[in-house]
Amino acid sequence: MRPTFARIYLDNLRHNLSVIRSKINPDAKMCVAVKADAYGHGSVRCAKTAVECGADFLAVAAVSEGVELRGAGITTPILMLSLCSPSEMDDVVKNDLTPLVFDDEYIDFLDEACARCGKKAFKVHLAVDTGMGRIGCLPEEAAEMAKKIVSSKNLSLGGMCTHFSVADSLSEDDVSYTRSQFEKFLFACNSVKDAGIDPGIRHCANSALTLNNPETHLDMCRPGIIAYGYYPDELDEKYFESKGERIDLKPVMALVSTVVAVRKFPAGHSVSYGRTWTSETETDIGVLPIGYDDGLFRRFNQTDGGLEVSIGGKAYPVRGRICMDQCMVDLGKNSGVKRWDEVVIFGPEGSGALQSAEEISRATGTISYEITCGISKRVPRVYISSSQN
Ligand SMILES: *Cc1c(COP(=O)(O)O)cnc(C)c1O
C-alpha cells in the first residue's frame, strides 16, 4: 500500500447521516449529495452507507458518476445536478438518472433519447433559478416549462427544485436574500400547481437550510457537506450552540502519510524548491511522500504560520515549498520520530490529527469542500467501519 492514503471513517458518516435524518422533517425525504466522488470520500462506499442510513435519493453531477453507482448495484433514485452533453443522454435514460431540466432544447434532447431507448414517462425535475444564477428557468417561466414537460412524448415531471447562493451566511442581507429565493421557489411551484400540473417532489434545502430552516424542507432536503462532517461556513457548531442546539458532526476523512526518511541536517541547509527555508541550527528533517498532486496544495504552507502535521499526536511544521509528490517537516532534535511513523495531516478526533480539513480551509481562505475534493485519485481510500459494509 502507498504510504499516503485517506482513511474514511464510515461510522462517522453514519453518525452524521443520523443527525441529518433527525433534523429533516419526518415526512420529507433525504437526498444525499455524493457528487465529486462523495466530496472526495469515495462515492460507491459512501452512497451505499447513505442508502443504508435511509437516503431516499442520491445526487451526482456527472453522468459517469451515476453510471458508477448503478454499476455497483445501487437502485436508489439518482438526481443529476449538472447538465450533460447530448452524447450522454442515452446513458442518462438507460441508467435511470433523474436529470434537471429548464429549457425547451434540453427537454427535446432528452425526449428524443427516451424515444431511442424506448422509455416512457421518464422522470425529470424542473430546476428554477431563484437567484443562484446558475441553472434553472426564471420563476415566471416555470408553469410554461412544466407544460412543455408533461406534453412531451416521453417525459414526466417528477419534481421541482432550486438552489441557494448565500444560505450558509448569517449576514442580514444574505438571510433576507435566502428568504426571497425561497418565496420565489414557492411561487414557481404554486404556478405549476395552478396550471393543473403536479409539481412532484419539491426540494431546495442544502446542508445549511437542512440544519437551520425546517420550513424550507418541503418534500425533500439535499444535504452534502454536513454528511462528511463539516459545518456550512458560518453556521458552525458555536452558532447552533447560541441557538440552544447541539449539532455534533464528525469529519469522515483523515489524510495520512508516513515518514519515509529522517535526515540529519547541519545548520544552513536549505529545504525544497526556491530555498524558502534554511535550517538555523542542526535539526532532523522528515521526508513525507505527499505533495500537491495528492491534494496537499502549495498554498497550505504559504500562509501565516504555515502547515503543521501530527506525528504521534505532536505538531511539526512543514518547511519549504510543498513539491508535487513530497514535502519535508522539521522534527527538531531528539524528537524520537522514526522512519515509517504515521503522519496525520487532518482528520477527526481519534484519528491522531490535530486539525480537521475545516481548520486548514479557514487558514487558507477556502472551504472544507475544496480540501476533501482536492484529495486526488492516486490517494487510496481506506475504509474503516465497525460493520460489514
Ligand atoms: C452540491 C449541491 C448540494 C449540496 O450542497 P451542500 O452545501 O454540500 O449541502 C445541494 N444542491 C445542489 C444543487 C448542489 O449542487
Query: What is the amino acid identity at position 317?
Result: P
pTM of the predicted structure, to 2 decimals = 0.97
**What does the mean pLDDT of the chain come to?**
97
Q: In angstroms, what is the span from residue 60 Cα to ligand 1's centroid?
A: 10
Which numbered atom of ligand 1 lies nearest the CA of 31? Answer: 10
| Interior/surface letters 260-296, b for 16+ CB within 10 angstroms, e for the rest | bebeebeeeeebbeeeebebeeebbbbebbbbbebbb
- In short, whether 311's Cβ falls inside 6 Å of ligand 1 is no
Model confidence pLDDT, tens digit, residues 105-121 = 999 999 999 999 999 99
User: Ligand 1 test: best mutation among 24, 81, 204, 212, most atoms within 8 Å of CB?
Assistant: 81
Decide: helix, strand or coil at residue 29: strand
C-alpha 325 – ligand 1 centre gap (Å)? 31
User: Rounded to 5 degrees, what are φ and ψ at 46?
Assistant: -70, -40
Residue type, 113: A
| CA of residue 206 to ligand 1 center, whole Å | 5
Does 163 contact ligand 1 (Cβ within 6 A)?
yes
Instruction: Give 172-222 pLDDT, tens digit per residue.
Output: 999 999 999 999 999 999 999 999 999 999 999 999 999 999 999 999 999
The alpha carbon of 168 and the centre of ligand 1 are apart by a number of angstroms equal to 11
* Centroid of chain to Cα 10: 15
CA of 338 to the centre of ligand 1 (A): 42
Which of 161, 158, 89, 88 lies closest to 127, judged by CA?
161
223 in contact with ligand 1, CB cutoff 6 A: yes
Quick one: 139 exposed, middle or buried, by C-beta within 10 A (0-12, 13-18, 19+)?
A: buried
Ligand 1 atom at shortest distance from the alpha carbon of 33 = 4
- pLDDT at res. 305: 84
Q: pLDDT class for 275, splitting at 50, 70, 90?
A: very high
Q: Find out whether the beta carbon of 229 lies less than 6 Å from any atom of ligand 1.
A: no
Read off the pLDDT band of 388 (50, 70, 90).
low
Using one digit for the tens of pLDDT, what is the confidence trace for 235-274? 999 999 999 999 999 999 999 999 999 999 999 999 999 9
* SS3 of residue 232 by DSSP: coil
Reply yes or no on whether the pLDDT at 346 is more than 60.
yes
Confidence of residue 65 (pLDDT cuts 50, 70, 90): very high
- Which is the closest atom of ligand 1 to the Cα of 163? 13
CA–CA gap between residue 2 and residue 171 (Å, rounded): 45
Q: Closest residue (by CA) to atom 14 of ligand 1?
A: 81
Active site residues: 35, 273
* CA 175/CA 166 separation, integer angstroms: 8
C-beta of 207 in contact with ligand 1 (< 6 A):
yes
81 lines ligand 1 (CB under 6 A): yes
The pair phi, psi for residue 128, each rounded to 5°, is: -115, 130
Residue that the C-alpha cell 448569517 belongs to: 170
Q: What is the mean pLDDT of residues 340-365?
A: 96
Q: Do residues 216 and 27 make contact, with C-beta atoms less than 8 angstroms apart?
A: no
**Tens-place pLDDT, residues 283-332:** 999 999 999 999 999 999 988 889 999 999 999 999 999 999 999 999 99
What is the distance in A from the centroid of ligand 1 to the CA of 202? 15
Best mutation site among 206, 209, 212 for ligand 1 pocket (most ligand atoms within 8 Å of CB)? 206
Round to whole Å and give the CA distance between 252 and 13: 6
What percentage of residues in the chain have a pLDDT greater than 70? 99
